[in-house]
Amino acid sequence: MIQAIAFYLFAFVVIASAVMVIFSRNPVHSVLWLILAFFNAAGLMLIAGAEFIAMLLVIVYVGAVAVLFLFVVMMLNIDFAELRAGVARYAAVGLALAVALVAEIIIAVSAWKVGGIELGRRIAATDESIPNIEAVGRLLYSRYLFAFEAAGLILLVAMIGAIVLTYRHRAGVKPQNISAQINRRSKDAVRMVDAPVGKGVEL
C-alpha cells in the first residue's frame, strides 16, 4: 500500500518534472527540474530494491553531472529571443526526431512482457542474504568483467582526450613553483651587509 503510493508519487513527479524541463522558459529552472527528475528516479530505483543503483544515481548524476550542467548554464548568457528566432528553420528536423522517438516509445511499450514489477523485491535472481552491492559486484567482476574494464578504458581515453584538446601551453606565463619556494633557504636569498656611508652596496 505505502509502496504503491510512493511508487505513483515518484513516477508522477519524474514525469511532471521531465515535462517541466522542456517547458520552463528559464534554462536554470530546466536544469533544476532535471535534478528533481533524477532524484525521483533514484526513489523509483529504491522501491524496485536496487538501492545501490539509486545511491549511485544521486551521487553521480545529481552530485556531479547536474552540478556541471548548472555551472555552465548559469554562466552562459542565453538570449531567449535569439533562441526562438530559429524555431521555424529547425521545426522540420525537430518534428522528424520527435516522431521517431514517439514511435520507439510505442514499440517499446507494446513489447512489454516483463509483467508488473513487484515493489520492494529484487527482480534479479540473487540470494536475498547477499547485499545489493555485493550482487552487482559479483556480476560485474565475473561475467561482465571485460565489458566493465572496456568501459573503464573508454572513459580513460575520453578523459585524456579532453585534457589533450583543452590544454594550451602558453609561453610567458610564470606559474608558482612550490617545491622551489619551499626549498629556498635564507642564505640563498638574504645577505647581511654593513653599508658604508656614502658608498652604498654592490649588488
CA distances from 3 to 16, 52, 62, 74 (A): 20, 18, 24, 37
Q: Of 75 and 164, which has the nearer Cβ to other proteins? A: 75
Q: Does residue 14 contact residue 40 with C-beta atoms inside 8 Å?
A: yes
Q: What is the distance between the alpha carbons of residues 36 and 14, in angstroms, rounded to a whole number?
A: 7
H or E element, residue 25: none
CA 146 distance to own-chain centroid: 24
Q: What is the distance between the alpha carbons of residues 72 and 70, in angstroms, rounded to a whole number?
A: 5
Is there binding between residue 160 and other proteins (CB under 8 A)? no
Count, residues near other proteins per rule CB under 8 A: 24
Contact with other proteins (CB under 8 A) among 8, 71, 80, 141: 71
Is there binding between residue 78 and other proteins (CB under 8 A)? no
Contact with other proteins (CB under 8 A) among 4, 19, 74, 155: 74
* DSSP single-letter state for residue 124: S
Contact with other proteins (CB under 8 A) among 120, 131, 152, 161: 131
Contact with other proteins (CB under 8 A) among 76, 96, 102, 133: 133
Cβ 24 to other proteins shortest distance, Å: 12
In three-state secondary structure terms, 202 is coil
What separation, in Å, do the N-terminal and C-terminal C-alpha atoms of the chain show?
A: 87
> 48-67: which residues touch other proteins (CB under 8 A)?
51-52, 55-56, 58-59, 62-64, 67
Contact footprint for other proteins (CB under 8 A): 2, 28, 32, 35, 51-52, 55-56, 58-59, 62-64, 67-68, 70-71, 74-75, 131-133, 176, 178
